[in-house]
């Protein structure tokens, strides 16, 4: 299709990636935000988000003239052919999705959006939101289309340009198909659905992944109790094409900007139609239990009492490759450790500044200084390359708790330390020899 005039409202992970990638596909894109300082930074090519390839895409879009940034949606949409809503839909009261930002933008632009322009929800929204937006508009000449995103932080650009599928849904089938054509240059199947089905796809996918992660964490706990090795168990499972290898790594729990709020929101949606989604609520409860098991593992590594213990934390972001702290399992574990009286020193290669309840340092070796235990909470590759002999020299204790099974246990043992993973046999402890 020919280049479309597109407005993207919101410049967070989803909005900025969507705008930059659509401009890269040849469309003329205006990205809108309410933060004047942020718009100024983006207009100058400065991207605050840590996302591989995104800064380069923004720079190319600005240079080509196909991408620009403005404050205020009302004027921006007046000649648009498509408007993407990429505003936050955080967890609201009671766990439901908070749609105030979506509603505010709809109200702002409702009377000026051109006839025939597609109003597209890219934000994750509950089933029924398209109908709600259509009713708010009070117009039949502006089709509302659901086009959920499936972007992973750390690989968002790659996921956008090489998607598994593109989902578009609307009660106006022609509008849904036209939105699908915006992605014509991407070699991906397009699923055209009704609005309700498209809205449910995102929740169904994310909640399935959350349940898969809770399941593998439960199997890891069984491995510890039965003397099995989770790495070998998941290797054996992963060869089954019906299961696959992704989301089969145990850890300190799942988090981030999507899974916690989406699982909670789908539970609330199920309740609204009198369905008790026990499978999903159990996955949420298991995620909390996993955090508590990790805390208990760390307590055991320092002799059972966390009060007054010095704990070094490696990793704060919810996953490697991003600086996002939203619902980070690392922070969830740290919060409990701090509440139980542990003194925390933390390092993350993408996170700086002050965080309540801990001292954040800019050198990974500083977390080991006088530490009774060092805990790996985020799977940054640089932690594998640390000089663990030097780490051991800095520590008062000798315990390394690897909640991501990231490190090579023998390297830790060779440094004179002990190693504990998740669902793995505990490496034989080698006490450090005191130097007199």
Active site residues: 258
Q: Was 202 annotated as part of a binding site?
A: yes
326 is in an annotated binding site: yes
Task: Please check if 431 is assigned to a binding site.
Answer: no
Pairing status of strand 118-121 against strand 82-85: parallel
324 among the known binding-site residues? no
Tell whether 318 is in a known binding site. no
Q: Is 250 annotated as a binding residue?
A: yes
Which strand ranges, in their side-by-side order, compose the sheet holding 310-314?
359-360, 343-347, 310-314, 373-376, 399-402, 418-420
Alpha helices in 67-164 (DSSP H): 73-76, 100-109, 129-137, 156-161
Q: How far apart are CA 79 and CA 77, in angstroms?
A: 6
Residue 314, beta-bridge partner list: 347, 376
Residue 384 annotated in ligand binding: no
Please, how many CA atoms are within 13 Å of residue 407, restricted to the half-sphere of its CB?
30
Q: Which of 297, 303, 293, 295 is nearest to 396 (CA)?
A: 303
- Report phi then psi at 294, rounded to 5: -65, -45
DSSP-assigned beta bridge partners for residue 271: none
260 appears as a binding residue in the annotation: no
369 is in an annotated binding site: no
Place of tokens 């983006």: 42
263 is in an annotated binding site: no
33: annotated binding-site residue? yes
72: alpha, beta or left? (left if phi > 0; alpha if psi -120 to 50): left
Check the annotation: does 63 bind a ligand: no
Radius of gyration of the chain (CA): 24
State residue 44 phi and psi, 5-degree precision: -90, 5
CB atoms within 10 A of CB 255: 25
CA distance 81 to 116: 7
Spatial separation of the C-alpha atoms in residues 73 and 411, rounded to whole Å:
55
The reply to whether 153 sits in an annotated binding site is yes
52 is in an annotated binding site: no
* Pairwise CA distance, residues 400 & 418, whole Å: 6
Binding residues for substrate, as ranges, are 150-153, 202, 247-251, 255, 319
Binding residues, as ranges, are 33, 38, 89, 124, 150-153, 202, 247-251, 255, 261, 319, 326
Binding residues for NAD(+), as ranges, are 33, 38, 89, 124, 153, 261, 326
């Amino acid at each position: 299709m020919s280049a479309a005039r597109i407005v993207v409202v919101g410049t967070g992970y989803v909005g900025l990636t969507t705008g930059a990638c659509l401009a890269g596909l040849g469309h003329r894109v205006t990205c809108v935000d309410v933060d004047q300082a942020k718009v100024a930074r983006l207009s100058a090519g400065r991207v605050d988000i840590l996302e591989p390839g995104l800064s380069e895409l923004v720079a190319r879009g600005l240079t080509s003239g196909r991408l620009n940034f403005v404050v205020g949606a009302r004027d921006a949409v007046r000649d648009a052919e498509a408007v993407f809503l990429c505003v936050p839909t955080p967890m609201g009261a009671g766990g439901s999705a908070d749609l105030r930002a979506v509603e505010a933008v709809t109200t702002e632009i409702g009377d000026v959006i051109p006839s025939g322009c597609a109003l597209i929800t890219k934000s994750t929204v509950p089933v029924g939101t398209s109908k709600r937006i259509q009713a708010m508009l009070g117009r039949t000449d502006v089709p509302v289309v659901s086009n959920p995103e499936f972007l992973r932080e750390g690989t968002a650009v790659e996921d956008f340009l090489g998607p598994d599928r593109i989902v578009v849904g609307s009660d106006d089938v022609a509008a849904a198909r036209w939105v699908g054509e915006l992605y014509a240059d991407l070699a991906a199947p397009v699923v055209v659905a009704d609005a309700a089905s498209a809205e449910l796809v995102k929740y169904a996918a994310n909640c399935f992944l959350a349940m898969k992660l809770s399941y593998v964490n439960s199997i890891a706990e069984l491995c510890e109790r039965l003397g099995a090795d989770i790495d070998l168990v998941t290797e054996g499972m992963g060869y089954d094409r019906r299961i696959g290898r992704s989301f089969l790594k145990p850890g300190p729990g799942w988090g981030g900007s999507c899974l916690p709020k989406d699982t909670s929101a789908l539970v609330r949606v199920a309740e609204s139609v009198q369905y008790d989604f026990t499978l999903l609520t159990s996955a949420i409860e298991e995620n909390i239990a996993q955090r508590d098991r990790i805390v208990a593992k760390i307590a055991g590594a320092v002799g059972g009492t966390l009060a007054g213990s010095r704990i070094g934390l490696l990793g704060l972001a919810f996953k490697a490759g991003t600086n996002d702290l939203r619902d980070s399992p690392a922070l969830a574990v740290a919060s409990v450790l701090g509440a139980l009286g542990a003194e925390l020193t933390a390092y993350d290669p993408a996170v700086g500044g002050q965080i309540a309840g801990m001292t954040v340092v800019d050198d990974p070796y500083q977390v080991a200084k006088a530490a009774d235990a060092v805990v790996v909470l985020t799977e940054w590759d640089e932690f594998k390359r640390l000089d663990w002999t030097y780490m051991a020299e800095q520590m008062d204790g000798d315990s390394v708790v690897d909640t991501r099974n990231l490190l090579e246990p023998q390297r830790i043992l060779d440094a004179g330390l002990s190693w504990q993973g998740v669902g793995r046999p505990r490496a034989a402890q080698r006490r450090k020899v005191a130097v007199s």
